[in-house]
Chains A and B, each alone.
Chain A
Amino acid sequence: MAPRLPGGLLQSLWDTQLTIPHVSIRTFGIRSLNPPKPSRFNNNPGLPILESTSTAALRRKANSLPLRTGAIGIKKGMTAIFDTETGKRIPCTVLQLDRVEVVSHKTRQKHGYFAVQVGAGWKHPSNMLNSLLGHFSANGLSPKRHVFEFRVRDEAGLLPVGQSIQANWFQEGQYVDARSNTKGKGFAGVMKRHGFHGQDRSHGVSLTHRSMGSAGPSQGGGSRVYPGKKMAGNMGNTQNTVQNLKILKVDVESGIVVVSGAISGPKGCVVRIQDAIKKPWPEVALTETAAATETATAA
């Protein structure tokens, strides 16, 4: 390495030559160590909302979020209902709402979105963690077996905590979306799971009649298996939503809600039903919730 001049000496020479003529006039008095700087960002009030913010996300969802909460039902089985006028047979699913009550709220301020936490059924308190038991007791509710959230558009849809949701929350003739877990099929092969065609019965195929064959392209295609490749694996027991099911019949005393068509899952599974997002909202929705909140505030 080449020898160096002592740095300190050079620096001091440099300072004396250049910085002395440029000393500002106000070298006395109190000065801020961190003077205010103009922002590097454009933060004027008239700016459009950025699309990657939670506000924009809520605004995008505003039209597809139901105005009011849904309910938790238990699938009891299927039957049919005859239309007395046309004589048409409508296959239907029978759900039962059992002690469905509002447990708590999720709010925009605290959680970033509006939702109603709803519980159903009853669970023995000795089988429940103290943290969850305390959550119910703090809201004056008995321990619930099933707890789910239903997102609503705004705070007008937040039913008061502790209010029970009866079967007549849904009107006959309105449409709902039903979401539940499908029946579990266990570890299934590709033919059953993804509808692959399998391989030949004969023509030299041996022991691989139901297998998937090659998993990936050859060297030109990258010589690897792409993520998401359909293969054998666990099938079923995943959430499925069936949209636009008509409410055919409602019975408050026995908590029965009869819904047209089939719903995923075995008998006894938990089904969440809420106003259908692809149909006009039921007309009673807003007035009823408003009345409910009024009574709650009055009480």
Chain B
Amino acid sequence: MAALPTMRPLGSLRSLFKTQEVIQPQLGRRFLSTAYSQRPQRVPLPQSLPEQFLSQVPVRMRPENAPKPIKVYTPPPSARKACKDPVAKVTETQLETLDPKGERKALFDYRRNPRSIKPGDIVRVTFKNGDPFNGVVLSIKLRGIDTSFLLRNELTRVAVELSVKVFNPNVQSVEIVQRAQRKIRRARLYYMRSRKHDRRSVENVVNAYIRQKKAFMGGGKR
């Protein structure tokens, strides 16, 4: 074709004819599709079948080999239904011994109890081994048995933080030394770690509180 440049425009026409030829038989093509058909029903053996014919029936289709219904036994009582939340139950049983009256839970339940300890309060914790720890409450984590609070203080000019588990049997008592002076708008006072907002040592406040308490106790005795 390259030898005959004058024939080129006609060549493009030929392709048009070709496409028509290709398309037309496809239009008339017929497709096979599978029609839905119901599952065949099991045909029972005729009732009045003479016994000598049974030997001609396949073994598995003979009446004596018909599938027997399987007896399904009822399950025993469910432990899962008896106790829907086992983790909560374990926590409850523990709290019954660790916090029988629910006082400690109420003391730290700052979302519901208005008289509870709140972030920003100054708190004094005494442990069973005798070492007290004072500090500002930075945060309270309410996590069931793992409920804890974070205290911050300064000892020998070094900032110290201590996280205390509320229901730990080693914690003897938790006292509120001083409520927060201003309204605290946050639940986590981590900004108090920055130099600008650091409360520094709370020993002065605590010592004053202890003195006052001693005087009060002495007055009570008299």
Instruction: Find chain A residues with CB under 8 A from B94 CB.
Output: 81-82
Asked whether A87 and B170 contact (CB < 8 A) given A80-B145, A99-B78, A256-B83, the answer is yes
Determine if A94 is an interface residue (Cβ-Cβ < 8 Å): yes
Residues 77 to 121 of chain B near chain A (Cβ within 8 Å): 77-80, 82-83, 85-87, 89-91, 93-94, 97-98
Determine if B217 is an interface residue (Cβ-Cβ < 8 Å): no
Q: How far is the CB of A140 from chain B (nearest CB, A)?
A: 6
A79, A87, A99, A254: which contacts B146 (Cβ < 8 A)?
A: A79
Asked whether A253 and B146 contact (CB < 8 A) given A87-B170, A137-B71, the answer is no
A256 adjacent to B90 (CB under 8 Å): yes
Q: How far is the CB of B96 from chain A (nearest CB, A)?
A: 12
B98 adjacent to A255 (CB under 8 Å): no
Asked whether A96 and B168 contact (CB < 8 A) given A79-B144, A82-B94, A140-B73, the answer is no
Determine if A177 is an interface residue (Cβ-Cβ < 8 Å): no
Q: How far is B80's CA from A92's CA once the two chains are assembled, in angstroms?
A: 19
Instruction: Find chain B residues with CB under 8 A from A253 CB.
Output: 79, 82-83
Q: How far is the CB of A130 from chain B (nearest CB, A)?
A: 6
Instruction: Find chain B residues with CB under 8 A from A251 CB.
Output: 89, 93
Instruction: Find chain B residues with CB under 8 A from A134 CB.
Output: 70
Instruction: Find chain A residues with CB under 8 A from B165 CB.
Output: 82, 89
B169 adjacent to A136 (CB under 8 Å): no
Determine if B74 is an interface residue (Cβ-Cβ < 8 Å): yes
Q: How far is the CB of A51 from chain B (nearest CB, A)?
A: 45
Q: How far is B168's CA from A111's CA once the two chains are assembled, in angstroms?
A: 52
Determine if B167 is an interface residue (Cβ-Cβ < 8 Å): yes
Determine if A143 is an interface residue (Cβ-Cβ < 8 Å): yes
Closest to A93 in B: B87
Instruction: Find chain A residues with CB under 8 A from B86 CB.
Output: 76-77, 94-96, 254-256
Determine if B75 is an interface residue (Cβ-Cβ < 8 Å): yes
Asked whether A84 and B72 contact (CB < 8 A) given A94-B90, A99-B79, A254-B89, the answer is no
A76, A84, A89: which contacts B87 (Cβ < 8 A)?
A: A76
Query: Quick one: CB contact mask for A83-117 with B, threshold 8 Å, 1 for yes?
Result: 11001010010111111010000000000000000
A121, A141, A258: which contacts B73 (Cβ < 8 A)?
A: A141
Determine if A277 is an interface residue (Cβ-Cβ < 8 Å): no
Determine if A243 is an interface residue (Cβ-Cβ < 8 Å): no
Determine if A164 is an interface residue (Cβ-Cβ < 8 Å): yes
Determine if A249 is an interface residue (Cβ-Cβ < 8 Å): yes
List residues of B whose CB falls within 8 A of some A CB.
70-80, 82-83, 85-87, 89-91, 93-94, 97-98, 128, 144-146, 165, 167-170
16 A–B contacts, CB within 8 A, in A order: A80-B145, A82-B94, A82-B98, A82-B165, A84-B98, A87-B169, A92-B90, A94-B86, A94-B87, A134-B70, A137-B72, A142-B72, A142-B74, A142-B75, A254-B82, A256-B89
